[in-house]
Amino acid sequence: MTFRNLHYFPRFSFVFFRASLLLSLVFCSMACGPAKYVLDIEMRKPSLSGIDLVGKNVSVVFVEAGDSLSDGFNSNMAKGFASSLESSYGWNEGSVGIYSVSGGKDSNYACRDSLLNLVVDTDADLVFLFDTLQVTGQQFGDTHFSMKLHCYDGMNPADKVQTFSGSSSGVLGDERYGIKAGEQVSLPFRNQWKVEQFSFLYFESAKWYDALAYVERFSWKDAMDIWMELLSSSDSYKRSCAEYNIATACFITGDYSLAKEWLDRSDQENKLPVSDTLHKRLSAIRK
């Protein structure tokens, strides 16, 4: 089943990271200059739909319209959808609540107020709602249908409903087919990872090596504590490198405003060739 967003897909922004064992070391041949340590990190980014589920309580609701076959399929789809999200984001089984609501001729679950009420009623931050299934025909034992999935994020300042639509055909009474359909529908909302390379600068001395050891273990606070100590150097180039490293660590841990401050401070000391890449990443976040 293919779903398309009826609104828009925001640009991807990187959020959080997870450890990767992919490490590589690159040495520069600059006389008296710093060497460069390159670290591969898998960075989390929002789903293909642009909807960010990280750190949010999510609930899934399906509409029961009074037709046992369609309602059963909607229920199974909701189960597959919720289970797929739990697996993708590493959430505990059952952490995504599944609920049903009664539908009727006058029901309108595509409006903001209806979904906001469901957010409150299900004690969630974000709610997905599988609307009433629309049967469009029968052929060779398969039922052709179309449907809509509404999403409302109570934590998003945009404060609006996003609607996705799709169509397919199959045996509505087959529980496995309903669950598989829900898993397919979940694909645009699943977690995304992308390997990114980040450079750290260092000089041949114990403190710089100690900081790199913490970088290898993804112990960013400990690494930044050492770089902060190195800011007392009388060498402006070394101070600039330490400031750049702090900015990079801030970016990786998701503190983009602080990363921008440290990168600007590094640029004021000395404009490092590696700083351009980090500037581009920060600009992409702000778009």
CATH of the domain at 236: 1.25.40.10
18 or 222, which is more confident? 222
pLDDT of 223 over the 60 cut = yes
- In this structure, is residue 107 part of a structural domain? yes
Does 10 fall in a domain? no
Q: Are residues 171 and 232 in the same domain?
A: no
87: left (phi over 0), alpha (psi -120 to 50) or beta: alpha
Backbone angles phi, psi at 167, to 5 degrees: -145, 155
Q: Please compute the mean of the pLDDT values over residues 190-206 and round it to a whole number.
A: 92
Chain segment 16-38, per-residue pLDDT in tens: 334 333 333 443 434 467 999 99
Task: Please state at what angle helix 68-89 crosses helix 175-186, rounded to 10 degrees.
Answer: 50
d(CA 249, CA 36): 15
> Does the pLDDT at position 203 exceed 60?
yes
Identify the pLDDT of residue 1: 45
Q: What is the CA radius of gyration of the chain?
A: 25
- Identify the pLDDT of residue 9: 26
In this predicted structure, what is the pLDDT of residue 134?
86
pLDDT in tens, 174-187: 999 999 999 999 99
Q: Which residues contact 214 (CB under 8 A, 6 or more apart)?
A: 220, 222, 223, 226
- Identify whether 11 is part of a domain: no
Residue 113 has pLDDT above 90, yes or no: yes
> Would you say residue 201 has pLDDT above 90?
yes
DSSP for 92-154, please give it.
PTT-SEEEEEE--TT--TTSHHHHHHHHHHTT-SEEEEE---EEEEEETTEEEEEEEEEEEET
Beta strands 23-26 and 35-45 are antiparallel
Q: Is the pLDDT of residue 156 over 50?
A: yes
Residue 32 is predicted with a pLDDT of: 60
- Report the pLDDT averaged over residues 213-228: 96
| Residue 13 covered by a domain | no
Q: List all residues 6 or more positions away from 118 whose beta carbon is below 8 Å from its beta carbon.
A: 59, 61, 99, 101, 109, 124, 127, 129, 152
Comparing CA positions, the residue from 217, 208, 206 lying closest to residue 245 is 208
Same domain, 98 and 185: yes
Task: Kindly state whether residues 159 and 219 are assigned to the same domain.
Answer: no
Q: Give the mean model confidence (pLDDT) for residues 238-244.
A: 97
Higher pLDDT, 66 or 3: 66
* Residue 46 pLDDT > 70: yes
d(CA 177, CA 73): 8
Q: Is the pLDDT of residue 11 over 60?
A: no
CATH number at residue 145: 3.90.950
Q: Within 10 A of 98 (CB to CB), how many other CB atoms are there?
A: 16
**Which of 166, 190, 214 marks a domain boundary?**
190
Does residue 245 carry a pLDDT above 50? Answer: yes
**Three-class DSSP category at 62:** strand
Structure tokens at 233: 């150097």
Tokens of 25: 């070391």
Q: Are residue 74 and residue 120 in the same domain, yes or no?
A: yes
CB 181 within 8 A of CB 77: yes
Residue-number span of the structural domain to which 144 is assigned: 58-190
Q: Which two tokens stand for residue 31?
A: 């006389």
Q: Are residues 238 and 164 in the same domain?
A: no
Total number of domains in the chain: 2
How buried is 157 (Cβ within 10 angstroms: 0-12 exposed, 13-18 middle, 19+ buried)?
exposed
Q: Is the pLDDT of residue 8 over 60?
A: no
Q: Rounded mean pLDDT of the chain?
A: 86
Residue 53 inside a domain? The answer is no
pTM more than 0.85: no
pLDDT at 169 over 90: no
Are the beta carbons of 81 and 61 closer than 8 angstroms? Answer: no
pLDDT of residue 190: 92
Beta bridge partners of 26: 36
> What's the pLDDT score for residue 5?
35
pLDDT in the model for residue 274: 94
**Does residue 168 sit in helix, strand or coil?**
strand
**Would residue 134 count as lying in a domain?**
yes
pLDDT of residue 244: 97
Answer yes or no: do 63 and 167 share one domain.
yes
